[in-house]
Amino acid sequence: MRVLHVCSELYPLLKTGGLADVIGALPFAQKEIGIDARIVLPAYPAIMTGIPNTVIVHEFDNFAGHIVLRYGEYNGVGIYLIDAPHLYAREGNPYYGENYQDYADNYKRFALLGWVGAELATGLDSWWRAEVVHAHDWHAGLVSAYLAHKGRPAKSIFTIHNLAYQGNFSAHHLYEIGLPSEMFNINGLELHGQISYLKSGLYYSDKVTAVSPTYAKEITTPEFGYGLEGLLTTLTQQGKLFGVLNGVDETIWHPNNDPYIQDHYKLKFMTKKRHNKQKLQSYFNLPQQAEALLFVMVTRLTEQKGVDLLIESAEEIVKQGGQLIILGSGAAELEQSIDELATRYPENIAVRIGYDEALSHLIIAGGDVILVPSRFEPCGLTQLYGLKYGTLPLVRATGGLADTVVNSTSENIKSRTATGFVFDEATSEALSQAIGNAFTLWQKQRLWFSVRTVAMEQDFSWKIAAENYKQLYQ
Q: Which positions make up the binding site for ADP-alpha-D-glucose?
A: 15
Task: Select from 27, 33, 34 the least CA-distant residue to 6.
Answer: 27
Annotated binding site: 15
- Residues with Cβ within 8 Å of 336's Cβ and at least 6 positions away in sequence, in order, are none
| Bond prior to 12 in cis (omega within 30° of 0) | yes
Task: Select from 121, 119, 157 the least CA-distant residue to 141.
Answer: 157
As a whole number of angstroms, the distance between CA 363 and CA 281 comes to 9
Task: Evaluate whether 141 touches 200 at the Cβ level (below 8 Å).
Answer: yes
As a whole number of angstroms, the distance between CA 448 and CA 450 comes to 5
